[in-house]
């Protein structure tokens, strides 16, 4: 099943509503990037040459892009299904003086991927777990990366699966149709390898895996 069906788009946009997004923005302003974003930034630290452009898929408030723009990345494209998240990104980008260096697109990336330009770095921070089908997402992500791909996703451990099952059950009881998924890491790695990328850095927390891939030289 592709992820571009209206029900997935609607449920994702409703889940990441104004209240949730404002809470995330406040946390970012007070404490900086969250654990997975911080982990990906650490993976990208010291990469030479610094990517000139980033395409952040499922960007949310765009914390990763905002941080990268502050250290020398020239431009970013943030794609997200939540208008509230993109509004918050515009507000924070303006506050940081980088508003003219970000393009925002409100849509499902998989559905509109052919209309988007490629970038030196494609980033998917806590995004794979929001898609019912990871294959079309990662295929399009690799197609749009000139050189680097960075992603974070839930580890395939019993305690992570249990936690997501509880969260999804609670959402179901509340009438929230958004769901999170644990996809097979080995299959995702194999897909990326098959599309010409090799993993060069990785780090894990109790619940999350963060990885950096480089396109193989041709």
pLDDT in tens, the chain (218 residues): 334 455 677 888 788 889 999 999 999 999 999 999 999 999 999 899 999 999 999 999 999 999 999 999 999 999 999 999 999 999 999 999 999 999 999 999 999 999 999 999 999 999 999 999 999 999 999 999 999 999 999 999 999 999 999 999 999 999 888 999 999 999 999 999 999 999 999 999 999 999 999 999 86
H-state helical runs in the chain: 6-15, 18-31, 35-44, 63-70, 83-96, 109-112, 134-143, 158-174, 185-194
For position 128, what pLDDT does the model report?
95
215's CB contacts (< 8 A; 6+ apart) are 145, 146, 147, 148, 149, 196, 197
For position 206, what pLDDT does the model report?
95
Question: Nearest to residue 59, comparing CAs of 68, 51, 50?
Answer: 68
Choose which CATH entry (3.90.800.10, 3.40.50.150, 3.40.630.30, 1.10.10.60) describes domain 6-215: 3.40.50.150
Instruction: Quote the CA–CA distance of 33 and 13 in Å, as a whole number.
Output: 21
Is there a cis peptide before residue 49, judged by omega within 30 degrees of 0? Answer: yes
For position 218, what pLDDT does the model report?
67
For position 11, what pLDDT does the model report?
84
For position 7, what pLDDT does the model report?
65
Instruction: Quote the CA–CA distance of 94 and 171 in Å, as a whole number.
Output: 34
For position 15, what pLDDT does the model report?
84
Instruction: Quote the CA–CA distance of 212 and 214 in Å, as a whole number.
Output: 7
For position 1, what pLDDT does the model report?
31
210's CB contacts (< 8 A; 6+ apart) are 36, 39, 40, 43, 150, 151, 152, 202, 203, 204
Question: Nearest to residue 60, comparing CAs of 21, 94, 32, 27?
Answer: 21
For position 4, what pLDDT does the model report?
46
């Amino acid at each position: 099943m592709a992820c571009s069906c209206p029900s997935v788009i609607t449920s994702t946009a409703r889940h990441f509503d104004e209240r949730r997004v404002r809470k995330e923005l406040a946390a970012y302003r007070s404490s900086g990037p969250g654990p997975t974003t911080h982990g990906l930034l650490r993976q990208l630290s010291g990469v030479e040459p610094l990517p000139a452009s980033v395409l952040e898929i499922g960007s949310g408030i765009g914390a990763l892009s905002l941080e990268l723009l502050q250290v020398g990345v020239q431009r970013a494209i943030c794609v997200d299904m939540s208008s509230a998240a993109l509004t918050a990104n515009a507000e924070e980008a303006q506050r940081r003086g980088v508003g003219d260096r970000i393009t925002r697109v409100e849509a499902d990336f998989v559905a509109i991927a052919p209309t988007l330009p490629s970038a030196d770095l494609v980033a998917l921070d806590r995004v794979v777990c929001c898609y019912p089908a990871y294959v079309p997402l990662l295929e399009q992500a690799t197609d749009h990366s000139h050189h680097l791909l960075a992603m974070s996703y839930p580890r395939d451990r019993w305690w992570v699966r249990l936690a997501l099952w509880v969260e999804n059950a609670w959402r179901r009881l509340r009438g929230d149709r958004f769901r999170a998924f644990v996809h097979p890491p080995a299959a995702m790695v194999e897909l990326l390898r098959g599309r010409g990328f090799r993993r060069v850095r990785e780090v894990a927390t109790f619940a999350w895996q963060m990885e950096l891939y480089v396109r193989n030289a041709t």
